[in-house]
Amino acid sequence: MGNRPRQREKEVPNQFQQMNPHAAGIDVGSRSHFVAVPEGADEKPVREFSCFTGDLHRMADWLDACGVKTVAMESTGIYWIPVFEILERRGFEVKLVNAHHVKNVPGRKTDVSDCQWLQRLHSYGLLEGAFRPPDQVCVLRSYIRQRMNLIRYAASHIQHMQKALSQMNLLLHNVVSDITGVTGMRIIKAILAGERDPLVLAGFRDPRCKNSQDTIARSLEGHYKPEHLFSLKQAVELYEFYQAKIVDCDRQIEEQLGVFDDQTDGQQTTPPAKGKVGGNAPGFDVRGDLYRMTGVDLTRIEGIDAYTALKVVSEVGIDMSRWKSSKQFASWMGLCPGNKVSGGKRLSGKTKSVANRAAIALRIAANSLYRSKSALGAYLRRQKARLGAPKAITATAHKLARLIYSMLKNGTQYVDAGQDYYEQRYRARVVENLKRRAIELGFTLVKTTIPCPEMCTE
């Protein structure tokens, strides 16, 4: 046995050879981070570092001393952000991975084994980094998200105002569409100032209000109690406070938009105004700034207003080179059908659940197209009749995502072909399918002169 030649070790296939020999893995936590480096890079290949900034710099120094070039970490809450920023600033290639995609071996779940598993997977090139836009887009995204939070906080105090009014049987919300509008706020301010006469309060009605002054006066006959008036006063003060903070946030957003380079090739022509501005839209010219920084007018797409376009751009940026095609872009947003197949049988086509704010904005935009006379509106109505509302909204949002990708990548302008053009194309497809089916069954489809009813678009 001693003279028997040793059996050659089996070579590792190319797809399992180490592609990143100088890779490290970090298990991110709220109190400490566990870091694993390759075996032999240090006498203690797994170390624990606290979350303090000084400890994070010591972590970067240790990784540099171990010869680490690239790092993979889990996207745990918001605790990964300081680690990511410090390591990226120190020159490391950092990949942020989804924790669901790097599940550890069952039965061996510890912080040490997690970071070692991340290091091993990353060394073999089996991890895909999550999308993170450039720094200037990240700053814009932070401002937009903060603004959305402020709007949500202000909305809760509108509910408090309505509750206090209802407790006093002041049914103002039944006669005005928005109690924070011109008519509603005038009446509420007068109530807080001590006015109780319904006719006098109804006199603050704006001429554009649909309901008459007498109807508004009838809704303002109630019982005024001190505790409910106190709640109403505080709710109004908090609502106005958040409105002031939204204005401050708008200034920061406008300033950040000015940081982006001009993509209009010196043509400073602002696109013409379009439609009605939403109540929560910023107070500056968002459409003009977006046109300058992207070189295209995204609001030409039916259903996309300036604020929706701003939310999408703040999430995905303006560089579409990260995605190979519009299909991959829509799939990243979670707007494509699923593909779960086993044994040759399709088990599910459910769209994957993705917490993507840009996709949410596009779904809201798609839902607003139901009465639109555009090609996208006709598509939404037809898909709704065939698939139901939820799937139709997702399918239309998928079209919006692909249009935005094409415009940002190629610099092309969108031109709506109209509802009639879509209906003609749909009719042509139906006729071609009928001809093909008739030939397969041994028949011939003959066009007649008998007038047929118009095809329903619902």
pLDDT in tens, 70-84: 999 988 888 999 999
Contact 330, 380 (CB under 8 A): no
Structure confidence at residue 55 (pLDDT): 94
Neighbour count for residue 448 (Cβ, 10 Å):
6
3-class SS string, the chain: CCCCCCCCCCCCCHHHCCCCCCEEEEECCCCEEEEECCCCCCCCCEEEEECCHHHHHHHHHHHHHCCCCEEEEECCCCCHHHHHHHHHHCCCEEEEECHHHHCCCCCCCCHHHHHHHHHHHHHCCCCCCCCCCCHHHHHHHHHHHHHHHHHHHHHHHHHHHHHHHHHCCCCHHHCCCCCCCHHHHHHHHHHHCCCCCHHHHHCCCCCCCCCCHHHHHHHCCCCCCHHHHHHHHHHHHHHHHHHHHHHHHHHHHHHHHCCCCCCCCCCCCCCCCCCCCCCCCCCCCHHHHHHHHHCCCHHHCCCCCHHHHHHHHHHHCCCCCCCCCHHHHHHHHCCCCCCEEECCEEEECCCCCCCCHHHHHHHHHHHCCCCCCCHHHHHHHHHHHHHCHHHHHHHHHHHHHHHHHHHHHHCCCCCCCCHHHHHHHHHHHHHHHHHHHHHHCCCCCCCCCCCCCCCCCC
CA 103-107-111 angle, to 5 degrees, is: 60
Residue ranges for the chain with pLDDT beneath 70:
1-16, 104-108, 266-278, 450-458
**Would you call 124 exposed, middle or buried from its count of C-beta atoms within 10 A (0-12, 13-18, 19+)?**
middle
Report CA Rg, the chain.
30
Q: Write the CA distances from 242 to 139, 155, 192, 237, 245, integer angstroms.
A: 21, 9, 19, 9, 5
Whose tokens are 């079209």? That residue is 399
Q: Is 347 exposed, middle or buried (0-12, 13-18, 19+ CB in 10 A)?
A: exposed
pTM equals 0.83
